[in-house]
Homo-oligomer: A and B are copies of this chain.
Amino acid sequence: MALRAKVLYDFHSENPGEISIAENEVVTLFSEEELEGWLEGENSRGEAGLFPASYVEIIRDHITSNNNGLSLPQAKVQTSYTPSQSQRGFGADSSSFHTSQGSDDDWDDEWDDNSPVANAPQGLGSSPPLHPIATSLPGRGSTPQHQQQAKSSATVGRNLNRFSTFVKSGGEAFLLGEASAFVKDGDRICVVMGKHGPEWQEDPYPFTCTIDDPTKQTKFKGMKSYMSYGLTPTHTNVQVNRRYKHFDWLYARLVERFPVISVPHLPEKQATGRFEEDFLSKRRKGLIWWMNHMTSHPVLAHCDVFQHFLTCGADEKAWKQGKRKAERDELVGANFFLTISPPSVPLDLQEVENKIEGFKAFTKKMDENIVVVNTSINEFARKQMSGFKKEYQKVGQSFKYLAQAFELDQQVYSVGLNKAISYTGEAYEAIGEYFAEQPRQDLDPISDLLDLYKGHLSNFPDIIHVQKGALTKVKDCPKQEGELHDRCNIISFATLAEIQHFHRTRVRDFRSQMQHHLRQQISFFQKITAKLEDTLQRYDDDQ
Q: A: which residues have CB within 8 A of B?
A: 196, 358-359, 361-362, 365-366, 368-370, 372-373, 375-377, 379-380, 383-384, 387-388, 391-392, 394-395, 397-399, 401-402, 404-406, 408-409, 411-414, 417, 420-421, 424, 503-504, 506-507, 510-511, 514-515, 518-519, 521-522, 525-526, 528-529, 532-533, 535-536, 539, 543
- CB-CB < 8 A to A412: which residues of B? 196
Q: Please report the C-alpha to C-alpha distance between residue A375 and residue B413 in the assembled complex, in whole angstroms.
A: 28
- The one of B395, B397, B405, B526 in contact with A529, judged by C-beta atoms closer than 8 angstroms, is B526
Please determine whether B511 and A539 come into contact, CB atoms closer than 8 angstroms. yes
Q: Which 9 A-B pairs have the closest CB atoms?
A: A376-B398, A369-B405, A365-B405, A366-B405, A369-B401, A373-B398, A518-B536, A362-B408, A525-B529
Q: Please report the C-alpha to C-alpha distance between residue A384 and residue B409 in the assembled complex, in whole angstroms.
A: 33
- CB-CB < 8 A to A503: which residues of B? 409, 411, 413-414
Please determine whether B388 and A372 come into contact, CB atoms closer than 8 angstroms. no
Q: Please report the C-alpha to C-alpha distance between residue A205 and residue B260 in the assembled complex, in whole angstroms.
A: 88
Q: Please report the C-alpha to C-alpha distance between residue A358 and residue B510 in the assembled complex, in whole angstroms.
A: 63
- CB-CB < 8 A to A399: which residues of B? 373
Please determine whether A511 and B391 come into contact, CB atoms closer than 8 angstroms. no
Q: Please report the C-alpha to C-alpha distance between residue A402 and residue B535 in the assembled complex, in whole angstroms.
A: 39
- The one of B380, B413, B514, B528 in contact with A539, judged by C-beta atoms closer than 8 angstroms, is B514
- The one of B402, B506, B529 in contact with A369, judged by C-beta atoms closer than 8 angstroms, is B402
- The one of B391, B414, B504, B519 in contact with A383, judged by C-beta atoms closer than 8 angstroms, is B391
Please determine whether A376 and B388 come into contact, CB atoms closer than 8 angstroms. no
Chain B nearest CB: distance from A494 CB in Å?
Answer: 19
Please determine whether A420 and B365 come into contact, CB atoms closer than 8 angstroms. no
Q: With A511-B420, A518-B535 known to touch, is A380 a contact of B391 (CB < 8 Å)?
A: yes
**10 new A-B contacts at CB < 8 Å, known A369-B402, A373-B402, A526-B529:** A361-B408, A362-B408, A366-B406, A369-B401, A383-B387, A413-B507, A417-B507, A417-B510, A424-B514, A525-B529
